Amino acid sequence: MAERVSWVPVGVDTGKPSAARLYDYLLDGGHNFAADRALAERFLRAQPNGRTIARLNRAFLRRAVLFMMECGIRQFLDLGSGIPTVGNVHEIARKADPESRVVYVDFEEVAVAHSQLILEGDPCAEIVQQDMTEPEAVLRAVRDTGLLDFTRPVGVLTVGVFHFVPPEADPASVVAAYRDAVPAGSCLAFSQFTQDLQPEEMAGVVEVMKKSQNPMFPRTREEIEALFAGFELVEPGVVPLPLWRPEDTKTDDPDKAGIYGAVGRKV
């Protein structure tokens, strides 16, 4: 029987797993269902390092936001933001500047519903329900919130989400649309799974995710670098997440990270 709890929007099929709720489970969150947990266990059999990878991705988000704030950015567009867990963009940014503004974007109903609960009454953060692969609709909805000033630099975040964008969606044009919408001085933070690291495990993950609502499309370093057209990659470029500006001298094994990350600045 499908689960039903008070925070689940009417009409959501809790028996159909989603990537957002799988990620929530890997981060030890509480907004996932039996179908998501079953998918996650298959994911972990294919990639035993899955929970570590999720943690690395969340840590990269934090470092990327703080880097952008060092660059003077105080407003953020988080695409494919997922189900909120500890360490959301607005929480990170406001520790540095309480006036920071954030618009989250996701199309998964539970992610949107829970984000609305968390952000209720917050005048400087909002969630819009849109598909990030439709930039015109996303940007129109974001502008309607009135929260972001597109004449000033924006931090655009696509963290742990672009591996769900299929080739037929023309990923380069999706990124280019967001790039063209923001002024010079804006930044793009990007992370996604790759077949360059642990290729056998990645192949297993791809097979597992074919049975979900969100099949996965890993990309090579070269393919990811190409998505940064019009941005200047900041050091150290496209690297396994543990190597992107680590805060500790002791880092996780980059060869087992399974995921690349990078930040670029529009010039």
Rounded-to-integer distance, Cα 78 and Cα 112, Å: 13
On the question of pLDDT at 141 being above 90, the answer is: yes
Helix, strand, or coil (residue 62): helix
Q: What is the pLDDT of residue 2?
A: 46
The C-alpha angle with vertex 162 and arms to 202 and 64, in degrees rounded to 5, equals 105
Q: Is 199 domain-assigned? A: yes
Q: What is the pLDDT of residue 226?
A: 98
Average pLDDT estimate for 235-252: 91
Rounded-to-integer distance, Cα 100 and Cα 77, Å: 11
Rounded-to-integer distance, Cα 65 and Cα 77, Å: 11
Q: Is 4 domain-assigned? A: no
Instruction: Out of 2-6, 73-77, 184-188, pick the least confident.
Output: 2-6
Q: Which pLDDT band, with edges at 50, 70 and 90, does 10 fall under?
A: low
Q: Is 126 domain-assigned? A: yes
Are 199 and 231 contacting, i.e. CB atoms less than 8 angstroms apart? no
The C-alpha angle with vertex 85 and arms to 82 and 18, in degrees rounded to 5, equals 35
Average pLDDT estimate for 13-25: 83
Q: Residues 179-204: pLDDT tens digits?
A: 999 999 999 999 999 999 999 999 99
On the question of pLDDT at 113 being above 90, the answer is: no
DSSP H or E segment with residue 193: strand 187-193
Return mean pLDDT, the chain. Answer: 92
- CATH code for the domain of 249: 3.40.50.150
Average pLDDT estimate for 227-237: 98
Nearest residue to 75 (alpha-carbon basis) of 140, 150, 128: 150
What's the total number of domains in the chain? 1
Q: What is the pLDDT of residue 57?
A: 94
DSSP labels, 230-254: TEEEPTT-SEEGGGSS-SSSS---G
Helix, strand, or coil (residue 90): helix
The domain of 127 spans 19-266
Q: Is 13 domain-assigned? A: no
Tokens of 146: 């009135």
Q: Is 2 domain-assigned? A: no
pTM of the model: 0.91
Q: What is the pLDDT of residue 240?
A: 97
Q: What is the pLDDT of residue 4?
A: 45
